[in-house]
């Protein structure tokens, strides 16, 4: 009876190795073999039995051009069988399996898979409030493949970033190949080089938004800091939150201008907007850094947009600017918007004959992102746009109540930011960096894959959730994507304002606090 149970146990081991393995992720040139072994019939093994079993394993290995690296005699004692790890310098795992086929002493063979039943859990203090990364199965990738790479750059075209935030600083890009810390494109044609000196950017109070020092402020609105934290807040550092990437290089590129608005009672309030001409300047900048200076920018995040009259993307300058970024091998992730509209057929008459841009620009390496909630429904607090035909929204990702990094300062006339440096916001602005972060993480795992291959891995790995009637591919699943060959099927793991008479884009976040 004991031998029968032990045999059953060994069979289960082989079955688990074959069925629970993490995709095709295995140690190449190695196999694990279950063999018949008369030396293992006794429950208490003698030295002679161990030596005999080792000799048998060595002979088996030699017969297929391998060596016996390890056996497990305590486990197999009394079963009449052995488990042996074979390794070869000349044969692949598949070739070893083929060579062992037909050997009467071999009961079964498996590749030496890398497996883990549970994903890696970071020790960041607010991890328990981060439902988004858990839902898209990022911890499984952290455990089995990578936590990110400092060799991968993500350009965040936004309000900037608090570059010295304690949970971001290590992952913010340093001096760039052009000799700067980055640039802010603002005020319809002004370009300011970022200078990291003076008062810390993470704890600045701006009394007059008309006198912003774009060189030192870091973040002119807070939105970019929140987006950056979703992509790459430092992971496993015992504080705050973790990004989709524990390690990455975030390149903040400011595209927003600070201004004031007056209501009908002439009451002034603080506001920011991105002018298209400045945004095109920023797109030109990141392509320059990649093509001229060789900076490894793999992804760009654009959590900005507004509804405008339908344009021909083949002749529209803004669209063609994004196409050129896509053509440069950069994955451009764009937010679908927060107006709670079906882009194919808006129910609000204010949007008839219009579409949200840049979300509706469609090029080889662009991805348009809608927001989901904690119950796998359409983002409620985000008011996510969607596409009933699937033509305009590629993929959905968590966007409701997303905890991330914020600056610790306030602006005159603006809302107070959380003095802890963390807060929960909602919007397709939050969903988009989930996808941008996922793209960066896959670039770390597969550094030689093209932008389009990485994009199609993300699309093919999506779950069949919020797909029909909402998006083309469904809900982001990074674990599925990481083990999906590009093209294969996966599954299972604010209103803007006009500024300087140009089109303005607004951060696509619903500024909601989680009490």
Same domain, 198 and 107: no
Asked if 400 and 289 sit in the same domain, the reply is yes
pTM for this prediction? 0.76
Residue 351 within a domain: yes
Classify residue 168: in a domain, yes or no.
no
Q: What digits encode the pLDDT tens for the residues 258-317?
A: 877 666 677 666 778 899 999 999 999 999 999 999 999 999 999 999 999 999 999 999
* pLDDT value for 82: 86
Domain boundary among the residues 59, 92, 113 is at 113
pLDDT at site 409: 72
Question: Could you read off the pLDDT of 98-148 as tens digits, one per residue?
Answer: 999 989 999 989 888 765 434 578 999 999 999 999 999 999 999 989 999
Residues 6+ apart with CB under 8 A from 297: 153, 154, 155, 251, 286, 289, 290, 330
Q: What is the pLDDT of residue 263?
A: 64
Whether residue 70 sits in one domain with residue 211: no
185 and 303 housed in the same domain: yes
CATH number of the domain where residue 43 is located: 3.30.70.80
β-bridge partners, 306: 357
**426 assigned to some structural domain:** yes
Residue 304 counted as domain residue:
yes
Please check whether residues 60 and 194 belong to one and the same domain: no
Q: SS in 3 state form for 156-223? A: EEECECCCCCCCCHHHECCCCCCCCCCEEEECCCEEEECCCCCCCHHHCCECCHHHCCCCCCCECCCH
Residues 91 and 229 in one domain: no
What is the full per-residue pLDDT of the chain (515 aa) written as tens digits? 444 434 433 333 333 333 333 334 678 889 999 999 888 777 656 788 788 888 888 999 999 999 998 888 877 777 888 889 999 999 999 999 999 998 999 998 988 876 543 457 899 999 999 999 999 999 999 998 999 999 999 999 999 999 999 999 999 999 999 999 999 999 999 999 998 866 566 666 666 767 788 888 888 888 999 999 999 999 999 999 999 999 999 999 999 998 776 666 776 667 788 999 999 999 999 999 999 999 999 999 999 999 999 999 999 999 999 999 999 999 999 999 999 999 999 999 999 999 999 999 999 999 999 999 999 999 989 999 999 999 999 999 999 999 999 988 755 445 546 778 999 999 999 999 999 999 999 999 999 999 999 999 999 999 999 999 999 999 999 999 998 765 454 444 522 222 222 334 556 665 443 33
Do residues 100 and 8 both lie within one domain? yes
Question: For 150-160, how does the pLDDT look when each residue is reduced to its tens digit (9 = 90+)?
Answer: 999 999 999 99
Residue 121 lies in a domain: no
Shared-domain flag, residues 107 and 209: no
C-alpha dist (Å) from residue 429 to 123, 337, 347, 364, 370? 26, 8, 22, 21, 9
CATH of the domain at 367: 3.40.50.200
Any domain includes 271: yes
The number of folded domains in the chain is 2
Residue where a domain terminates, one of 54, 83, 113: 113
Q: Are residues 85 and 223 in the same domain?
A: no
Give the active site residue among 228, 321, 429, 482. 429
471 in any annotated domain: no
Domain carrying residue 421:
152-159+181-441+494-507
DSSP state of 136: T
Domain-ending residue, one of 84, 113, 142: 113
Tokens linked to 479: 């674990």
User: Does residue 338 sit in the same domain as residue 203?
Assistant: yes
Question: Is residue 73 domain-shared with residue 201, that is, in the same domain?
Answer: no
**pLDDT at position 70:** 85
Would you say residue 385 lies in a domain?
Answer: yes
How far is residue 236's CA from residue 79's CA, in Å, rounded to a whole number?
43
- Do 76 and 224 belong together in one domain? no
CB-CB contact of 310 with 354 (8 Å): yes
Question: Which of 223, 306, 424, 426 is flagged as catalytic?
Answer: 223
> Which residues, 6+ apart, have CB-to-CB distance to 515 below 8 Å?
none
Catalytic residue among 158, 167, 219, 423: 158
Q: Is 448 a catalytic residue?
A: no
* Active-site residue flag, 429: yes
Does 263 qualify as catalytic in the annotation? Answer: no
């Amino acid at each position: 009876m004991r031998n029968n149970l032990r045999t059953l146990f060994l069979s289960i081991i082989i079955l688990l190795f074959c069925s629970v393995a993490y995709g095709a992720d295995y140690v190449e040139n190695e196999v694990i073999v279950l063999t018949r072994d008369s030396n293992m019939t006794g429950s208490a093994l003698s030295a002679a039995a161990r030596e005999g079993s080792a000799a048998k394993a060595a002979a088996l290995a030699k017969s297929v051009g391998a060596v016996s690296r390890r056996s497990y005699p305590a486990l197999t004692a009394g079963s009449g069988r052995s488990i042996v790890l074979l390794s070869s310098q000349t044969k692949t795992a598949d070739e070893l399996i083929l060579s062992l086929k037909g050997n009467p002493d071999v009961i079964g063979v498996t590749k030496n898979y890398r497996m883990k039943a549970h994903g890696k859990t970071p020790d960041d203090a607010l991890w328990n409030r981060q439902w988004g990364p858990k839902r898209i199965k990022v911890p499984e990738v952290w455990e089995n493949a990578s936590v990110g790479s400092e060799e991968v750059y993500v350009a965040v075209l936004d309000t900037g970033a608090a570059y010295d935030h304690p949970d971001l600083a290590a992952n913010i890009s340093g001096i760039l190949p052009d000799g700067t810390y980055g640039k802010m494109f603002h005020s319809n044609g002004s370009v300011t080089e970022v200078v990291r000196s003076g008062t810390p950017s993470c704890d600045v109070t701006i009394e007059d938004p008309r006198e912003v020092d774009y060189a030192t402020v870091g973040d002119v609105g807070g939105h970019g800091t929140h987006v950056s934290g979703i992509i790459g807040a430092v992971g496993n550092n015992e504080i705050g939150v973790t990004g989709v990437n524990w390690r990455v290089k975030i390149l903040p590129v400011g595209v927003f201008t600070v201004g004031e608005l007056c209501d009908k009672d002439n009451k002034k309030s603080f506001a920011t907007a991105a002018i298209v001409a400045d945004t095109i300047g920023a797109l030109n900048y990141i392509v320059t850094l990649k093509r001229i200076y060789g900076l490894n920018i793999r992804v760009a995040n654009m959590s900005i947009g507004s509804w405008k009259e339908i344009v021909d993307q083949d002749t529209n300058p803004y669209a063609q600017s994004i196409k050129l970024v896509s053509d440069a091998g950069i994955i451009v992730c764009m937010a679908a918007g927060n107006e709670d509209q079906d882009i194919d057929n808006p129910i609000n008459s204010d949007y008839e004959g219009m579409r949200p841009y840049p979300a509706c620009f469609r090029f080889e390496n662009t991805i348009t992102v809608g927001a989901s909630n904690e119950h796998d429904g359409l983002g409620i607090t985000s008011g996510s746009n969607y596409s009933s035909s699937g033509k305009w929204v590629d993929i959905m990702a968590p966007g409701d109540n997303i905890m991330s990094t914020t600056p610790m300062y306030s602006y005159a006339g603006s809302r107070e930011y959380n003095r802890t440096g963390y807060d929960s916001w909602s919007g397709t602005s939050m969903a988009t960096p989930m996808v941008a972060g996922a793209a960066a993480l896959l670039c770390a795992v597969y550094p030689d894959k093209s932008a389009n291959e990485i994009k199609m891995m993300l699309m093919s790995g999506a779950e069949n959730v919020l797909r029909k009637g909402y998006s083309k591919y469904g809900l982001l699943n990074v674990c599925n994507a990481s083990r999906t060959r590009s093209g294969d099927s996966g599954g299972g793991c604010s209103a803007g304002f006009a500024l300087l008479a140009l089109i303005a884009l607004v951060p696509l976040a619903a500024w909601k606090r989680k009490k």
